[in-house]
A and B are shown apart, each in its own frame.
Chain A
Amino acid sequence: MRPLTEEETRVMFEKIAKYIGENLQLLVDRPDGTYCFRLHNDRVYYVSEKILKLAANISGDKLVSLGTCFGKFTKTHKFRLHITALDYLAPYAKYKVWIKPGAEQSFLYGNHVLKSGLGRITENTCQYQGVVVYSMADVPLMHPPPRSRLPRESAETVER
């Protein structure tokens, strides 16, 4: 477990900033406590200082997870966001897209959302803008990775 280097922080912030923009500083600088990002086994965890101090007592090979996993760094050092980050990204999202109940299932199984399935969308959303997808009941949803990228053993889970 270690803090992120400058390079890694930059890559991660660039990815997250695509969805929440400058609200990212609200994640970094919180009024209700000191939260920080820590890297453990290529995964980035967003954890409060208190929990971090407790987790430091566990040896590295036995530690599975701490705080909230935001995502992981791939072998080529690209940052991939995980669904567990959605709880933190959704409230700060700048551009939101609501999809109709019919299209929701299709989206969750990995298909694209057609224009007919689009319920609402924040105005002034540019083309190719990063958005957070919601169902009509204001539940944030996440698109699964394409089938070619799934590992062969089992579905990719956060906790091993």
Chain B
Amino acid sequence: MSPGGAMEGQSVEELLAKAERDEAEKLQRITVHKELELEFDLGNLLASDRNPPTGLRRAGPTPEAELQALARDNTQLLINQLWQLPTERVEEALVARLPEPTTRLPREKPVPRPRPLTRWQQFARLKGIRPKKKTNLVWDEVSGQWRRRWGYQRARDDTKEWLIEVPGGADPLEDQFAKRIQAKKERVAKNELNRLRNLARAHKMQLPSAAGMHPTGHQSKEELGRAMQVAKVSTASVGRFQERLPKEKAPRGSGKKRKFQPLFGDFAAEKKSQLELLRVMKSKKPQLDVTRATNKQMREEDQEEAAKRRKMSQKGKRKGGRQGPGGKRKGVPPSRGGKRKAGLGGKMNSGPLPYGGKRKGGQHQGGKRRK
């Protein structure tokens, strides 16, 4: 019992000592000693360490361990600071409220370039027109009070008139109210169009305009050219029979742009396709030669027979008998089809015809035909 007890006591003591050591270690880990205090910008979660890196310099070629220790220490200090912030609870998670960031970060994107002037601004600059400062309120006679120049309950509201005199030269049956509303709509649309055009000019973009034509002109040469091209191609024959003006030149670059493989594509795939091509080329070689050789032979045989027929006809004319060529002609066609191919399939195998092969082939052919 006693040795067991002693051992137990020892193990308990050991455990306690171990627990104490762990605590001390944790404390040691949490507290970090630095010569110079770090500067914290908790809004950006930034900690700047201005201590000289003597430990790193001493490390030598592989400073990984020292770097890791340094990073751990600095992160520990930052987290210590974070724990001192006021916290709140958001959906079962403890959240620290960060203060405003103090470091000013540099621009992410470059400085925006100055926007081009709108058409009105260009004109005003040209003419030297300065914006006149206008009063906000205008005296309205009708209602007898000061009303704003434009907007809700404005001074001179066209739409509120209940009587419009028909002007001198206009059609008496025309609806002047509708005309007024229509004019207003057109003005609004024109304004909107100009605004969009100014925007497009500022961003150097193209307006999606119908058929490339603008309702009020002011198109660049390229836009007009493009509109013309589109119009030319929009026929039933896709522009094939459209005449050009006498001095008009054909448009260049209207074909499809070729697409090539990328420069460093997949080398393995390239190699595979090339080897495949080689294999196909190797397997195709004899077939082509056979067809060319058969055609050549057929041509020669035709020529020979034509010559023979001419000779026979001459002889026939002289002797007075016409059966010779007829009989010969009947006998020849059946042998032509079958035996020619069989004979040549066996003979022509690889590469160009062997030296003297033509003669041999001719002789064999002659032999077969005779049979």
B-binding residues in A (CB < 8 A) = 1-3, 5-6, 9-10, 13-14, 17, 22, 24-25, 28-29, 34, 36, 38, 49, 52-53, 56, 126-129
List which B240-285 residues lie within 8 A (CB) of chain A. Answer: 260-265, 267, 270-271, 273-275, 277-278, 281-282
Of all chain A residues, the one with the shortest Cβ separation from B272 is A29
Contact among A13, A56, A126 with B277 in the assembled complex (CB-CB below 8 Å): A13
Contact status A28-B275, CB under 8 Å: yes
B152 at the A/B interface (Cβ < 8 Å)?
A: no
- Stretch from B299-307, B330-338, B349-357 contacting the other chain: B349-357
Contact among A10, A49, A56 with B267 in the assembled complex (CB-CB below 8 Å): A49
Measured CB to CB, the closest approach of chain B to A26, in angstroms, equals: 11
Contact status B260-A28, CB under 8 Å: no
Q: Which residues of A contact B264 (CB under 8 A)?
A: 52-53, 56
Contact among A1, A28, A127, A129 with B271 in the assembled complex (CB-CB below 8 Å): A28
Contact among B263, B275, B351 with A3 in the assembled complex (CB-CB below 8 Å): B263
Q: Tell me whether A3 and B270 are in contact in the complex, defined as CB-CB below 8 angstroms, given that A126-B351, A127-B352 are known contacts.
A: yes
Q: Which residues of B contact A14 (CB under 8 A)?
A: 281
Contact status A34-B267, CB under 8 Å: yes
Contact among B265, B274, B352, B355 with A9 in the assembled complex (CB-CB below 8 Å): B274
Looking at A14, A17, A34, A36, the one whose CB has the most chain B CB atoms below 10 A away is: A36
Bound Cα distance A17, B262 (Å) = 26
Of all chain B residues, the one with the shortest Cβ separation from A14 is B281
Bound Cα distance A122, B47 (Å) = 81
Q: Other CB < 8 Å A-B pairs besides A36-B270, A126-B352, 12 of them?
A: A2-B261, A3-B260, A3-B263, A6-B277, A9-B277, A17-B278, A28-B274, A34-B271, A36-B271, A53-B264, A126-B353, A126-B354
Of all chain B residues, the one with the shortest Cβ separation from A3 is B261
A-binding residues in B (CB < 8 A) = 260-265, 267, 270-271, 273-275, 277-278, 281-282, 351-355
Of all chain B residues, the one with the shortest Cβ separation from A5 is B260
Bound Cα distance A6, B270 (Å) = 10
Contact status B281-A38, CB under 8 Å: no
Contact status A127-B355, CB under 8 Å: yes
Measured CB to CB, the closest approach of chain A to B287, in angstroms, equals: 15
Contact status B354-A13, CB under 8 Å: no
Contact status A127-B277, CB under 8 Å: no
Measured CB to CB, the closest approach of chain A to B213, in angstroms, equals: 39
Contact among A22, A28, A34, A56 with B263 in the assembled complex (CB-CB below 8 Å): A56
Bound Cα distance A36, B271 (Å) = 8
Bound Cα distance A3, B271 (Å) = 12
Bound Cα distance A51, B355 (Å) = 46
Contact status A10-B352, CB under 8 Å: no
Measured CB to CB, the closest approach of chain B to A123, in angstroms, equals: 13
Q: Which residues of B contact A2 (CB under 8 A)?
A: 260-261, 263
Contact among B263, B282, B351, B353 with A38 in the assembled complex (CB-CB below 8 Å): B263
Contact status A3-B352, CB under 8 Å: no
Bound Cα distance A3, B265 (Å) = 9
| A-B interface, 8 closest residue pairs, ranked by CB to CB distance from nearest | A2-B260, A3-B261, A128-B352, A28-B274, A34-B267, A127-B355, A126-B351, A25-B278
Q: Which residues of A contact B281 (CB under 8 A)?
A: 10, 13-14, 17
Of all chain A residues, the one with the shortest Cβ separation from B285 is A17
Bound Cα distance A22, B270 (Å) = 18
Contact status A129-B278, CB under 8 Å: no
Bound Cα distance A36, B270 (Å) = 8
- A sample of 20 inter-chain contacts (CB < 8 A) reads A1-B263, A2-B260, A3-B265, A5-B260, A6-B277, A9-B274, A9-B277, A10-B277, A10-B281, A22-B278, A28-B271, A29-B271, A34-B271, A36-B267, A49-B267, A56-B263, A126-B351, A126-B354, A127-B353, A129-B351
